[in-house]
Each structure stands twice: as structure tokens, then as C-alpha cells.
Amino acid sequence: MKVNFSRCVIAEYGLWSKKNDCRNRQLICFTASDLRTLSLLAEVSTVKSLQGKKRYIFDENVPFASCHASTVVRLPDGSAAAAWFGGTCEGAPDVGIWLSRMQGGEWSPPVKVAGEEGLPHWNPVLFGAAEERLLLFYKVGQTFPEWHTRLTVSEDGGRTWSEPRELVPGDRGGRGPVRSKPIVLQNGAWLAPASLEKDAWEAFIDRSADGGSTWEQGNIVQLDILREPGKGVIQPTLWESDPGKVHMLLRSTEGLIYRSDSEDGGLSWCPAYATVLPNNNSGIDLVRTADGMLVLAHNPVGANWGPRTPLVLSASSDNGSTWKQAFTLEEGEGEFSYPAIVGSADKLFITYTWNRRRIAYWELTIH
């Protein structure tokens, strides 16, 4: 089936609802099934060139058989730290949280920073709060619907860590960041991208006005999808385009990445709507660079539970209205998934799962 691609791009991205500044999904001229034949959008964004080299954070001589769901953070001295969960396999009772720091251009041997025999650990999220203060959020629990979030803190750049505590006492389902990093708004508020996997899959924002000491749960982001178990959107990734104007992209079960927008600093959100970016119901992450360019790490595969390859970076210079594939991180057979991305003035730092055996790392220079 042929699709008039340029016309469809104009229809999707040229029509907005004045009521809530969300795109009018009724006027899209193509369907999700049409988009599954497309790799990415037309080349309508201006993208700078990226150059770098892939490395692995550790070799295969490590005390865990499987690893997944990495997170990466920049340290004040210009180096980096990364964490992931590792053990026999995902969800096994011996799975804990492991961490490595980059020292002198080399990654240190992995160290287990959180673990409790018989209690699976999941989805670490590193966040640099101030100076050498790092926060490490992660989930614990036997199942997604019943897991809860713990927090441990390092005051020395990840060398030592505090005793973990529940982020929100009594939480069951997962408060705080579920996979992608929090962001700090221009007004100082912290927003943590969160989601629930109970009945339907649902996303929300946790907000802190006191530097992460306490958290207020926002409303569920509304979605025009039949509410049923295992269906919906989860694992948002966030950015602020202008003061108070915040946006999220979401993993979905619909073959496409979804989006929602807020005009009031994340207090309220418009109903989530489909973008034209393909999604295989796997994790995504995004960073906004110093010059306002958005860089999204994702698998450009438009099928629910589709292959987790290739893994690419797509870029947008117009706040996500149009996208262009900018860099291929991985291609070919295998699983290359759950990317994490952060940036500095002229560099991008990316980690991701490499066939569940290693965590791959890229440091890319923006030219």
C-alpha cells in the first residue's frame, strides 16, 4: 500500500486543537498499520552530525548471567556512572542493582549496590541532584503490579551509598521514576516520569517541590484506547521546551510512540495521542540538548512486542513536530533495548542492553 508521505506529515503535524494544544488525532490521514511500513519520518529536521565509538561497560566475566535496563548519569568531573539490574534472569530472586563508574576513561568493575535475596530488583534510575550527590531509584517486588520504589543516596559521586528507604511509604505499584530520569523544571520543581502496570497500563507524573524529599502523585494521563489488562502506555520520558511547557513521549502497545503535553508545569496533561514514531512496545529515552534539539533513543519498529532491533537515535529541531533518523547505534539480529541518554553542551552519553549479556556505552560528539 502506497502512502502519500509528505501529505500525511503535514496533516499529522499541522493541525492542533486550540482547546488543549494537543494534536487533532481525528484528522490524521494514515493509520498505525500504514506506518508500520515506514522506518521513520521524512527528512524535515535539521540534524547535526554525531561521531563516537561503542564500548562495553564490562566484559562477560561478571557475577551475573543476565543484565538489563541500564541508566546513565554525568558526574561533575565530566565522567559518568551507570547502573542496571543483573542476576540469573529478569525477575529472578537473585537480581540486584549493579553500578560502575568511569574513572580515567575506563569503567570500574561492577559493584552490587542494592540487593536482597529472594526479592527481585528492577529498573534503576540515576539522577544527579547537586555536586556529587546522586540519587538511585529502583523497583523491588515479585510482580509489576505490586512492586514499590526504593531510594538510596550517594554524597560522593557513587562511591558509597546510604541504606535504602521506600520513596513513598506504603506505595504499591511504583511511585517516582519508573525507567527514565526525572527532570528539573526552570521553576525548580522536579518531575519524575512514572507509570503503573496493574489492570491497564497507565502513565502519570510524580512531582516534588522540595528537592525530592516529598512527592505528590499527579493524575493518570488520559488515553483513547480500550482499557484492558496489558494495554496502554507506560514509561514516559520528559522535557521542558519553555518555562512551564512540559512534554512526554510514551512507550505504547499500539505500534507507535504516544505523546502528551502540559501547559502548567506538569500539573495537568492533555490526553495522550499517537505520533508517527514507530514503537515496538519497548523502552525509549530522550534528552534535550543545550541548543534545544531533541534526541530520542528507540527501536524504530512499529509492531507490538516487535523485534528490539535496530536501535537508533532520532532528532528533532522543532520540539518534536518532525523527526529525522540521525544515528544507528545497533542493527542486525539480537536484542538492543532500553536505552538511556543524557547530554552535555556538545556530547551525548548513551547506555543500553546488549543481548542481555552486556551494557553497551556510546559517547557521541555533536558537530
DSSP 146: G
Which helix (H) or strand (E) covers residue 165, if one does? strand 165-166
* Cα 90 from Cα 353, distance rounded (Å): 12
Which residue from 64, 107, 118, 161 is spatially nearest to 351, judged by alpha carbons? 107
List, in sequence order, every residue forming a beta bridge with 260; answer none if it has no partner: 248
In 188-333, beta strands by DSSP E: 190-197, 201-208, 216-217, 233-242, 245-252, 256-262, 273-278, 285-288, 294-298, 311-316, 324-330
Question: Which residue has cell 554524597?
Answer: 155
Asked whether the beta carbons of 190 and 151 are under 8 A apart, the reply is no
At position 300, the amino acid (one-letter code) is P
pLDDT of residue 38: 41
Q: Whole-model pTM?
A: 0.89
At position 326, the amino acid (one-letter code) is A
At position 109, the amino acid (one-letter code) is P
pLDDT of residue 46: 53
Residue-level pLDDT, tens digit, the chain, 367 residues: 333 322 222 223 222 232 334 444 333 333 444 433 343 443 444 567 899 999 999 998 999 999 999 999 999 888 899 999 999 999 999 999 999 999 889 999 999 999 999 999 999 999 998 878 999 999 999 999 999 999 999 999 999 999 999 999 999 999 999 999 999 999 999 999 999 999 899 999 999 999 999 999 999 999 988 888 899 999 999 999 999 999 999 999 999 999 999 999 999 999 999 999 999 999 999 999 999 999 999 999 999 999 999 999 999 999 999 999 999 999 999 999 999 999 988 999 999 999 999 999 999 999 8
Asked whether the beta carbons of 223 and 234 are under 8 A apart, the reply is no
* Cα 136 from Cα 158, distance rounded (Å): 9
Cell, residue 173: 505499584
> Length of the chain, please?
367
In the chain, what are the helix, strand and coil shares in percent, each to the nearest 5? Answer: 5, 45, 50
pLDDT of residue 126: 98
pLDDT of residue 192: 98
